[in-house]
Structure 1
Amino acid sequence: MVRFLRPLVRGATYTRLVYLWVPMLVVSVWVLVDDTRMWVPAALLVPAGLVPAVRTGEGVQARWLLTPGQEDTGFSVAPAKTWRDRLRTVVWLQARLLLGLLTAGACVWLPILAVELARLSAGYRAYGIPVLRDAAPHWAFALLAPLPVLALYGAVVGLGALATAGARALLGPSAAERLTALEERTEQLLERNRIARELHDSIGHALTVAVVQAGAARAANSPEFTERALTAIEETGRAALEDLERVLGVLRETRTPVSSRPTLADADRLLESARVSGAEIDAEVTGPLETLPGPVSREGYRILQESLTNVLRHAGAVPTRVRVAVAEGALTLEVRNPLPDTRAQSARGSGLRGIRERAALLGGRARTGPDGGDWRVRVELPPG
């Protein structure tokens, strides 16, 4: 019983009722003008729904009234960009008008019916409902009086739920909007992972150095050693603070639009930067880079950037081969350089892990490691 009555204490039940009553304002105004052509309000909603901004207004109303307090509402608040979105808006306006008429009818006539049944059970004649005017008063009508109240409860709750489901279907994001949202989400995850890696490396290293140096200074019990340990802790802590300030500065900045971030079409500047650093870059690009989906091209750029950075950091200015192949929207990227002497050191760090994470996030794969005397990074990314 408590579960059955729970919708009565939910604010969404009443905000949905308000949402369904809003179209009746249009109908009420039209009734004052002409009560013989009731089809006119529905006809006027057709050109109104074709206006792109109307979709935004409907989405905002749905968010505030159909799903109050929810974060993931499933409604789009962007203007209609395609004719399909405009037609979906028109269909929703018609459906909302129909649901509003049903709600208004239930809210007006069901309470009147309950009152008339109560009057008949009390020995009075009924006047509000035509079919009951000839009914003779009888106490048995008291058994029927609660039924319209229950029907009103079901109509208010049921029509509100139906309006929410219909709005999600017709005012939900289009395929293009979902793709944009997915792309932005991918960019956010990648950025968060990158920042997490940088914080882990810099702050983790600083704390490790501080703990080790402090413990060694205590064990040595030497003023000279303690002085050197404090100096090392100070320098390491200052460097970590600079790294932290840099990362926090990135977080404070307004996020760069997805479309303005570098792609593989801008890879020439990466290669030129590596050449200026002394590396001999042999680059070969096959296939049309411009056909790559946005996320694939952007992550391919970052992977190439990280691969060249690792070459310069661990192997130095050595001959490096870069191969980029594009076929049917898929990307294959390979970077080879002579294997450095410190092989074990080259396999550590967050750079290679970051490459693998970027590839996995887009459903691809990355292989890194020694290969025939070279250090090879090979990444395959499927079409977005």
Structure 2
Amino acid sequence: MFPLCHDDRMPGLLSPLTRAVTYTRWLHLLVGSIVPFGCAMAYPGLISPTPSDWVLITVLPIPLVLTAAMVPGMRRAEGLQARLMLFPGSHARVGGKEDPGISAVPSASWSHRARTGAWLVLRLEAGLAVAVATEQLMALSLSFAGAAAGDPGVADSLVRISGTGWAYALLIPVPVLALAAVVVGAGALMAKAARRLLGPSAKERLAALEERTERLLERNRIARELHDSLGHALTLAVVQAGAARASADPDFTDRALETIEETGRAALEDLERVLMVLRDTARSAAARPALGEAGRLLDSARASGAQVDAEVSGPLDRVPAPVSREGYRILQEALTNVLRHAGPVPIRVRISVDETRLRLEVRNPLPAAVAVSGTGGGSGLRGVRERAAFLGGEARAGEDGCDWLLRVDLPLR
């Protein structure tokens, strides 16, 4: 037996006819023909137009649409129409969403107006051509149907049919298929032209890129805030719980549980501050803790059993708010790293402010610190370096005699 053969190309050829965007593009083109036909009704008329009349119908509306292109809002109107009717969206039954790349903002320069004018002229001429092709091809199909029924003059077509007979019925789909090809091809070309003429300018692309970069930076900042705040709280809780389990002193266990409770409550407050970034960036930034609240970090480290020697020199109130907030998070991460990997060891903290910079140093015994980040590749130190670099500062960590030293310099301007 011979295998059954079938043509897999047919569904691909007919698939544009099943998409709603094909017909919205067709409608978009036909709407563009309203202006030239409207002008033609005034002059030179649509009754038996001559070739010279068709030239006038094509040319006369151009000054009108070029004048309309000077209106800034015309670019927005055309952009919104192109987005809705030329590209797949919720109205198109196709998988995925195509990025139209069409700007929908008013004209802000003469370049925008010139491109809008070119688009309007193209839409006018292409719409007129598709409207005429639609009318003529549909009339030809009706003429074939009339000829098959014995009346070839049923429609006014440029192609005159003189004979009759049933064989003309076989030709009825030909103009319809030709019209479908014209509609699909013209719609695809108009979509490409819309991207070129109504797409964002270089300045708009740069603004969009900057906005996207700001969103990414904000997401990274939120991630760092969560890492620092929750990581610090969980580290203290783990250290306290381990110490309480190893201790046989009920009083120490009670103090440890109290510290865990206070640390957890503070972590919840920090978490609320971070989540407020998603609701109100300005208000949440003002609510974030700063170096003036560093005592809370030092007290929590002492409650974990660490001996913390802290010294603050210089006016902290003169430190700009962004620098102060990032300095708080850097100190929090530094203490967290020590407690997480070294446990309750002696820690010396120095915070100094002068005319140009804020310096923060955290020092602890080297054997414990080697496990913290001997290679410098931990996420904690990486976050510290990112915070410092974001403010134009520098963070260095390494061996200093028998100690491990983290030193961060942040400029005040």
TM-score, with length taken from structure 2: 0.65
1:192-238, Cα deviation, whole Å (9 max, x unpaired): 10111101221233344445655765676875455334322211111
1:16 equivalent in structure 2:
25
In the alignment, which of 269, 276, 289 is matched to residue 242 of structure 1? 269
CA contact (8 A) 2:229 2:267 kept: yes
In structure 2, do the counterparts of structure 1 residues 89 and 372 end up closer, same or farther at CA, with 3 Å as the change threshold?
farther
2:124 equivalent in structure 1:
97
In the alignment, which of 62, 82, 96 is matched to residue 62 of structure 1? 82
Deviation at 1:248, TM superposition (A): 2.1
1:186 equivalent in structure 2:
213
1:247-279, Cα deviation, whole Å (9 max, x unpaired): 2222211679xxxxxxxxxxxxxxxxx963399
Deviation at 1:319, TM superposition (A): 6.8
C-alpha distance in 2 between matches for 1:98 and 1:15? 18
Q: Does 1:29 align with 2:38?
A: yes
1:51 equivalent in structure 2:
71
2:352 equivalent in structure 1:
317
Task: Specify the structure having the higher radius of gyration (Cα).
Answer: 2
More off after superposition, 203-212 vs 20-29: 203-212
Q: Does 1:153 align with 2:192?
A: no
Deviation at 1:311, TM superposition (A): 9.1
Give matches, 1:97-246, under 5 Å. Answer: 97-126=124-153, 128-129=155-156, 132-133=159-160, 135-210=162-237, 213=240, 224=251, 226-246=253-273
CA contact (8 A) 1:62 1:167 kept: yes
2:112 equivalent in structure 1:
85
C-alpha distance in 1 between matches for 2:398 and 2:237? 38
1:9-41, Cα deviation, whole Å (9 max, x unpaired): 322122222221222222333233222542222
In the alignment, which of 386, 392, 408 is matched to residue 353 of structure 1? 386
C-alpha distance in 1 between matches for 2:98 and 2:387? 31
CA contact (8 A) 2:146 2:154 kept: no
1:306-340, Cα deviation, whole Å (9 max, x unpaired): 58985998642177977xxxxxxxxxxxx9x6976
Deviation at 1:183, TM superposition (A): 1.1
C-alpha distance in 2 between matches for 1:338 and 1:222? 36
Q: Does 1:2 align with 2:11?
A: yes
* Alignment size in residue pairs: 323
1:108-153, Cα deviation, whole Å (9 max, x unpaired): 1111111212332444334535554353224443343222111111
CA contact (8 A) 2:115 2:198 kept: yes
- Structure 2 unaligned runs (5+)? 1-9, 46-52, 91-96, 284-312, 335-348, 401-405
1:266-302, Cα deviation, whole Å (9 max, x unpaired): xxxxxxxx963399x9xxxxxxxxxxxxxxxxxxx97
In structure 2, do the counterparts of structure 1 residues 63 and 304 end up closer, same or farther at CA, with 3 Å as the change threshold?
farther
TM-score, with length taken from structure 1: 0.69
In structure 2, do the counterparts of structure 1 residues 240 and 376 end up closer, same or farther at CA, with 3 Å as the change threshold?
closer
Aligned identity (percent) is 44
Q: Does 1:252 align with 2:279?
A: yes
In structure 2, do the counterparts of structure 1 residues 177 and 93 end up closer, same or farther at CA, with 3 Å as the change threshold?
same
Which secondary structure state, in structure 1, belongs to the residue aligned with residue 396 of structure 2? strand
C-alpha distance in 2 between matches for 1:158 and 1:129? 26
In structure 2, do the counterparts of structure 1 residues 316 and 191 end up closer, same or farther at CA, with 3 Å as the change threshold?
same
In structure 2, do the counterparts of structure 1 residues 122 and 183 end up closer, same or farther at CA, with 3 Å as the change threshold?
same
2:286 equivalent in structure 1:
none
CA contact (8 A) 2:385 2:394 kept: no
Deviation at 1:168, TM superposition (A): 0.7
C-alpha distance in 2 between matches for 1:278 and 1:304? 9
- Report the residue type matching 1:194 in the other structure: R
Give matches, 1:253-332, under 5 Å. Answer: 253=280, 276-277=315-316, 306=326, 315-317=350-352
Which secondary structure state, in structure 2, belongs to the residue aligned with residue 317 of structure 1? strand
C-alpha distance in 1 between matches for 2:272 and 2:157? 78
CA contact (8 A) 1:53 1:80 kept: yes
Which secondary structure state, in structure 2, belongs to the residue aligned with residue 316 of structure 1? strand
In structure 2, do the counterparts of structure 1 residues 221 and 19 end up closer, same or farther at CA, with 3 Å as the change threshold?
farther
- Structure 1 unaligned runs (5+)? 257-273, 282-300, 323-334, 360-364, 380-384
More off after superposition, 311-320 vs 234-243: 311-320
C-alpha distance in 2 between matches for 1:155 and 1:184? 40
- Report the residue type matching 2:106 in the other structure: P
Deviation at 1:91, TM superposition (A): 0.4
C-alpha distance in 2 between matches for 1:376 and 1:210? 27
